[in-house]
Amino acid sequence: MKKIGVLALQGAFVEHVSVLNRLGVETSLVRLPQELDGIDGLVIPGGESTTIGKLMRAYSLVSPLKELIAGGLPVFGTCAGMILLAKQTTDPNDYSLGAVDIRVRRNAFGRQVDSFETELSVPVLGDTPFHAVFIRAPWIEKIGDGVKVLAQLHDGTPVAARSKNVLVTAFHPELTGDMRFHAYFLKMI
Ligand code: GLN
């Protein structure tokens, strides 16, 4: 059975565990480098990217994570997770895993009160729109070579993308009961 690690330093990790379990895969919480052993994929949840980044560094997770992702480990970053996986952010921090060639703008839509929900067309998930929850979300403002945009807002802003083994969404697919993004991620494994 596939085992998916869920980075559990801060943020919405419990919700990812619950979706993955409902899809029938085993999960394990990752807080320490040795907890990366034996996982077939990793989810980096939403939360506060600066906090998660600082804790990743404090727990010596940055180098092993970079190595595993460069070696092909499938990884799914949502919201703050996307920020941590991006090569560039508009608010430079020292915590990037540099795993996907995109530039993201943190808190792009404004503050907490500007959080919103919308229906997105996501062709790789089929015809039914995906109900997406954006919470102090980033957006993607530059897409590098080899990165495929999977979803855009009505004005064309990219909010979900994939590059080889890395999947990112600016929104929170673990909060709505629609498990298609997680199922898509499991197919990458
Ligand atoms: N605003 C957060 C950040 O910049 C991300 C919010 C989220 O993950 N929902 O890290």
CATH of the domain at 20: 3.40.50.880
Across the range 42-65, mean pLDDT stands at 97
Q: Which domain holds residue 128?
A: 3-187
Q: Using CA atoms, how far apart are residues 58 and 83, in angstroms rounded to an integer? A: 18
Ligand 1: which residues within 6 Å by Cβ? 46-49, 79-80, 83, 106-107, 135-136
Query: How many angstroms separate the alpha carbon of residue 106 from the centre of ligand 1?
Result: 7
Identify the pLDDT of residue 94.
66
| Confidence band for 111, pLDDT divided at 50, 70 and 90 | confident
CA dihedral 156, 164, 100, 53 (to 10 degrees): 120
Q: Among this protein's residues, is 174 annotated catalytic?
A: yes
Listed residue (41, 38, 33) closest to 16, CA to CA: 41
* End-to-end alpha carbon distance in the chain: 12
What token pair was written down for 92?
């430079």
Helices (H) and strands (E) in the chain, counts: 5, 12
Average pLDDT of the chain? Answer: 96
| Confidence band for 95, pLDDT divided at 50, 70 and 90 | confident
Of the candidates 16, 79, 131, 141, the residue annotated as catalytic is: 79
Ligand 1 atom closest to the Cα of residue 91 is 4
What token pair was written down for 11?
């943020």
Instruction: Among 93, 107, 115, name the best residue to mutate to test ligand 1's pocket (greatest count of ligand atoms within 8 A of Cβ).
Output: 107
pTM score of the predicted model: 0.97
Helices 62-70, 49-58: crossing angle, 10 deg rounding: 100
| Confidence band for 1, pLDDT divided at 50, 70 and 90 | confident
| Confidence band for 91, pLDDT divided at 50, 70 and 90 | confident
Q: How many domains does the chain have?
A: 1
Rounded alpha-carbon distances, angstroms, from residue 56 to 94, 111, 154: 11, 25, 35
Instruction: Among 9, 43, 48, 133, name the best residue to mutate to test ligand 1's pocket (greatest count of ligand atoms within 8 A of Cβ).
Output: 48
If you take atom 4 of ligand 1, which residue's CA is the nearest one?
106
Q: Which residue carries 């530059």 as its tokens?
A: 142
